[in-house]
Amino acid sequence: MSELNTNANATVKAAWARGALARVLWDEAQIQQRVRELGAEIARDYQALLGEALLEEPPLIVGIFRGAIVFLADLMRAMPIPVEVDYVQLYSYGKGAEAGEIQLLRDLGTPAQGRHVLLVEDIVDTGQTLEFLREHLEARGAASLRVCALIDKRPRRRVPVQLDYVGFVLEEDAFVVGYGLDYAERYRNLPFVAALKPEAVRRA
């Protein structure tokens, strides 16, 4: 964990000036290094799984809009293999911090039948969203399903889920923002992941 870099951009400075961010959990360099490692690991695994078929039937990467868009963009560029990309959009969080009923707002445009799917999540919290998507994709006939999560947040887990690839583990019940993660649609463009102060969560 680190303090704010004094050379941070204006957006970051503004967020800290409001006193919203408690601390940086993972900085930009740490995130980019971990994403490169994940991309290489995932590529090796799919090369081993698919062999020569990789060129004709590349894995289908499914991102969860909007939180995973930054992570997904960096991750797929770190994978030196052919891939196809699609996304789904869910509604689970409102303007507050508590999870709500999960609704599918946008389904895949690419058929999942017979495809090897890599589901990319920004953060796995209660596990309910991931379980919903796993059941949804398996019902559509995916040949295999693996999950890559930037952050495995464990304190509030309600549903046991299998994560095949994890960027970072969060063992505290902090509300995190940055690198695509938001609170009330704010802070997605921060280049690092930070914890919000509890009072900022209540008033944002």
Q: What count of other Cβ atoms lies within 10 Å of the Cβ of residue 59? A: 25
pLDDT band at 15 (very low <50, low <70, confident <90, very high): low
Q: 62 versus 3: which is more confidently predicted?
A: 62
CATH topology of domain 27-203: Rossmann fold (3.40.50)
pLDDT digits (tens, 9 = 90+) for 26-37: 999 999 999 999
125 catalytic per annotation: yes
Annotated catalytic residue, options 125, 152, 164, 182: 125
pLDDT band at 20 (very low <50, low <70, confident <90, very high): confident
Q: What is the pLDDT of residue 66?
A: 87
Query: What Cα–Cα distance (Å) separates residue 50 from each residue in 31, 45, 59?
Result: 28, 9, 9
pLDDT digits (tens, 9 = 90+) for 107-154: 898 999 999 999 999 999 999 989 999 999 999 999 999 999 999 999
Q: Please determine, for residue 11, whether its predicted confidence score (pLDDT) is greater than 70.
A: no
**3-class secondary structure per residue, the chain:** CECCCCCCCHHHHHHHHCCCEEEEEECHHHHHHHHHHHHHHHHHHHHHHHHHHHCCCCCEEEEEECCCHHHHHHHHHCCCCCCEEEEEEEEEECCCCCEEEEEEEECCCCCCCCCEEEEEEEEECCCHHHHHHHHHHHHCCCCEEEEEEEEEECCCCCCCCCCCEEEEEECCCCCEEECCECECCECCCCCCEEEECHHHHHHC
CA distance 134 to 125: 15
Q: What is the pLDDT of residue 193?
A: 95
Q: What is the pLDDT of residue 96?
A: 47
Q: What is the pLDDT of residue 95?
A: 44
Q: 4 versus 140: which is more confidently predicted?
A: 140
Q: What is the pLDDT of residue 105?
A: 87
pLDDT digits (tens, 9 = 90+) for 52-110: 999 999 999 999 888 899 999 999 999 999 999 999 998 765 444 455 678 888 989 89
Question: Domain segments of the chain: what residues?
Answer: 27-203
